[in-house]
């Protein structure tokens, strides 16, 4: 970490000596444990919902569009408020807003389970996303303030491990709860985690307010411009697959959002006390770390989405069985996060970011060779490579972003990192769904006829491409056994055509991310010094 950012002898918190924490609050490792509770809760919730959605739809008589909004309302609120959450923590106290975030997220989770209607689920998911935005950026901000530079990389590695593992465990936990309890329990599980997080955090977390930020005027115009811009961009992205990527609504929403973000950047460069200081982007490691973070979660969430469809709908595994088969990904990320942090601390992000993205590229290119009946021996190696790559990039990019920001901007930097993560994940899921749908649409009829389905029947099934894009074979009732088997075979081959395209695109983007990191992140002696 650059020495000019924070000298090892400088106070970590930026507060007066008399205000420095004492006792339990002075222990940075207890701070790490406290923020891990909240981070685990948010990460787990983000990935269990995909497992619960089918049951939510059946129980609450929800349409496919309704279920999309169960995910999208959370994502929109989260993306729009992440940088705001970090700035509020920097100015008024990171501990305060972390605790508010944990309490609000926990209460919203319980409210979702009690809502009893799809409208209530969608509304409280948005509330949950807003409080998640208060929680997430302040986790990194508090670690930045609590740990000295030489130990910050290790702390980020553990932080990244918690984030990666909670996300990867979501399908397993969600599958168990949905199968053996009910879909509401997917949200109720946050209650005990949240209570423990609140009690423990209230005891051990230091105050952690930036004295410089506390004296600044709050940038209300910046908040409005950024929130509106991010809302428009993410809305356009999540609706692109439904409306079409070239539709006026999609292009208009994305263009309007990008225009607002450009206006936000111009405004922030001129205002005395900006919401997001543009000076942060003068550091190339921070800027490239932001881009690579987005690519990292584009690949991770996009790939997990089609992998779970493949395992459940093509291979016929239950949610729990599918989750267990992705355990190598979780275990690899456990190893990779602290390993990536240690390597970043010693060699700098120019080694670990390209290495991690390269591992993800290898994983995606291997997945592009999967068939409808591939053995598990062809699955676990790319799962391990993906987990190693994601964990390594998560640790190194988080260190590059938050570690290269001044302590007083730690919350904002954490918000920037979390925003890149969420926008990248939204793009990954939406873009890869669209690619799979497009490829299925262009190959479904041909694959059905090749499998032995009569041309007239194949043409009649061409309108079922939405179901096939999810890996589901559209076999009508009372279909003869032989014809039904042919429809299943052709549909699954068409779906795999889409998976191969999505995997190749993901792998290519991972290669681009590796090259950008290798070329643009400088590897001077200061890059590795903490």
| pLDDT per residue of the chain (530 residues) written in tens, 0 to 9 | 343 333 333 334 444 444 555 656 668 889 889 988 888 888 888 777 777 877 888 888 877 667 778 877 887 788 778 778 888 887 788 889 999 999 999 999 999 999 989 999 999 999 999 999 898 888 877 887 788 766 776 777 777 777 767 776 777 788 788 888 888 998 999 999 999 999 999 988 887 655 555 566 777 888 889 888 888 887 887 777 677 778 899 899 999 999 999 998 899 888 877 877 888 888 888 888 889 988 998 898 788 878 888 888 889 887 778 778 888 887 887 788 788 878 887 887 888 899 999 999 999 999 999 999 999 999 999 999 998 998 888 878 877 887 777 776 766 777 787 778 777 877 787 788 888 888 888 888 888 899 888 888 888 887 777 788 878 888 887 888 888 889 999 999 999 999 999 999 999 999 999 999 888 876 543 444 44
CB 187 within 8 A of CB 45: yes
CB 370 within 8 A of CB 310: yes
Whole-number Å distance between alpha carbons of 139 and 464: 45
pLDDT at 106: 95
| Conformation bin of residue 348: beta by default, left when phi > 0, alpha when psi is -120 to 50 | left
Query: Residue 257 contacts by C-beta under 8 Å, 6 or more apart in sequence?
Result: 228, 229, 230, 231, 232, 233, 234, 235, 236
The residue among 79, 68, 163 whose CA lies nearest residue 430 is 68
For residue 102 the two structure tokens come to 């944990």
pLDDT at 153: 67
The residue among 204, 194, 148, 159 whose CA lies nearest residue 36 is 159
Query: Residue 107 contacts by C-beta under 8 Å, 6 or more apart in sequence?
Result: none
Residue with tokens 């799809």: 118
The residue among 89, 161, 152, 139 whose CA lies nearest residue 338 is 161
CA 4, 528, 334, 330 dihedral sign is positive
Whole-number Å distance between alpha carbons of 166 and 193: 13
Please measure the distance between the N-terminal and C-terminal CA atoms of the chain and give it in whole angstroms: 5
For residue 191 the two structure tokens come to 């209650």
CA 132, 134, 137, 143 dihedral sign is negative
pLDDT at 528: 40
pLDDT at 64: 65
The residue among 470, 65, 71, 434 whose CA lies nearest residue 250 is 434
Classify domain 17-218+273-440+498-528 at the CATH superfamily level: MFS general substrate transporter like domains (1.20.1250.20)
Where in the chain are the domains? 17-218+273-440+498-528, 219-272
For residue 492 the two structure tokens come to 């699954």
pLDDT at 259: 95
Whole-number Å distance between alpha carbons of 205 and 24: 8
| DSSP at 217 | P
Instruction: Report the C-alpha dihedral over residues 168, 169, 171, 176, rounded to 10 degrees.
Output: 170
R_g (Cα) of the chain, nearest Å: 23
Whole-number Å distance between alpha carbons of 66 and 48: 17
| Buried-exposed string 287-310: b where 16+ CB fall within 10 A, e elsewhere | bbbbbbbbbbbbbbbbbbbbbbbb
Look at the chain and count its residues: 530
The residue among 428, 350, 427 whose CA lies nearest residue 393 is 350
Query: Residue 114 contacts by C-beta under 8 Å, 6 or more apart in sequence?
Result: 184
The residue among 377, 309, 322, 355 whose CA lies nearest residue 523 is 355
| DSSP at 280 | G
CB 5 within 8 A of CB 405: yes
pLDDT at 330: 77
- pTM given for the model: 0.73
Residue with tokens 């090892």: 8
SS3 at position 278: helix
CB 464 within 8 A of CB 270: no
CB 12 within 8 A of CB 145: yes
pLDDT at 15: 45
The residue among 138, 146, 35, 169 whose CA lies nearest residue 411 is 138
CB 433 within 8 A of CB 305: yes
Give pLDDT tens digits for 102-125: 999 999 999 999 998 999 999 999
Whole-number Å distance between alpha carbons of 392 and 285: 16
């Amino acid at each position: 970490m650059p020495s000019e950012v924070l000298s090892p002898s400088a106070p970590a918190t930026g507060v007066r000596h008399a205000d420095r924490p004492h006792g339990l609050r002075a222990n940075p490792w207890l701070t790490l444990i406290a923020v891990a509770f909240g981070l685990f809760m948010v990460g787990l919730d983000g990935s269990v919902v995909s497992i619960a959605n089918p049951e939510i739809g059946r129980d609450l008589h929800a349409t496919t569009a309704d279920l999309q909004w169960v995910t999208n309302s959370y994502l929109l609120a989260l993306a729009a408020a992440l940088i705001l959450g970090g700035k509020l923590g920097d100015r008024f106290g990171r501990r305060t807003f972390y605790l508010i975030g944990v309490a609000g997220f926990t209460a919203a989770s319980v409210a979702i389970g009690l809502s009893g209607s799809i409208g209530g689920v969608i509304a409280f998911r948005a509330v949950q996303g807003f409080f998640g935005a208060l929680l997430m950026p302040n986790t990194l901000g508090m670690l930045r303030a609590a740990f000295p530079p030489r130990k910050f990389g290790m702390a980020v590695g553990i932080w990244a491990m918690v984030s990666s593992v909670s996300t990867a465990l979501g399908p397993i936990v969600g599958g168990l709860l949905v199968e053996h309890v009910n879909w509401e329990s997917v949200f109720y599980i946050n209650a005990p985690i949240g209570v423990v997080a609140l009690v423990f955090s209230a005891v051990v977390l230091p105050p952690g307010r930036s004295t410089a930020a506390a004296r600044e005027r709050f940038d209300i115009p910046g908040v409005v411009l950024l929130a509106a811009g991010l809302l428009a961009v993410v809305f356009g992205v999540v609706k692109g697959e439904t409306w079409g990527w070239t539709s006026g609504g999609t292009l208009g929403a994305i263009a309007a959002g990008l225009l607002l973000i450009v206006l936000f950047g111009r405004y922030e460069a001129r205002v005395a006390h900006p919401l997001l200081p543009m000076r942060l982007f003068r550091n190339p490691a921070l800027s490239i770390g932001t881009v690579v973070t987005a690519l990292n979660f584009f690949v991770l969430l996009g790939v997990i989405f089609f992998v779970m469809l493949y395992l459940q709908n093509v291979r016929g595994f239950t949610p729990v069985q599918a989750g267990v088969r992705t355990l190598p990904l979780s275990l690899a990320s456990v190893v990779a996060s602290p390993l990536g942090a240690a390597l970043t601390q010693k060699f700098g992000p120019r080694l670990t970011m390209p290495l991690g993205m390269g591992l993800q590229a290898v994983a995606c290119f291997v997945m592009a060779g999967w068939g409808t009946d591939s053995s598990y021996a062809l699955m676990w190696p790319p799962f391990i490579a993906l987990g190693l790559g994601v964990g390594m990039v998560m640790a190194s990019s988080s260190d590059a972003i938050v570690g290269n920001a001044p302590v007083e901007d730690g919350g904002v930097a954490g918000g920037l990192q979390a925003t890149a993560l969420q926008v990248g994940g939204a793009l990954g899921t939406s873009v890869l769904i669209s690619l799979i749908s497009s490829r299925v649409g262009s190959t479904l009829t041909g694959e059905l006829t090749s499998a032995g389905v009569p041309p007239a029947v194949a043409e009649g099934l061409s309108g079922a491409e939405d179901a096939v894009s999810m890996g589901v074979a559209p076999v009508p009732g009372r279909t003869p056994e032989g014809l039904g088997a042919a429809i299943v075979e052709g549909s699954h081959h068409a779906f795999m055509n889409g998976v191969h395209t999505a995997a190749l695109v993901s792998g290519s983007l991972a290669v681009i991310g590796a090259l950008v990191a290798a070329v643009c992140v400088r590897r001077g002696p200061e890059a590795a010094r903490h």
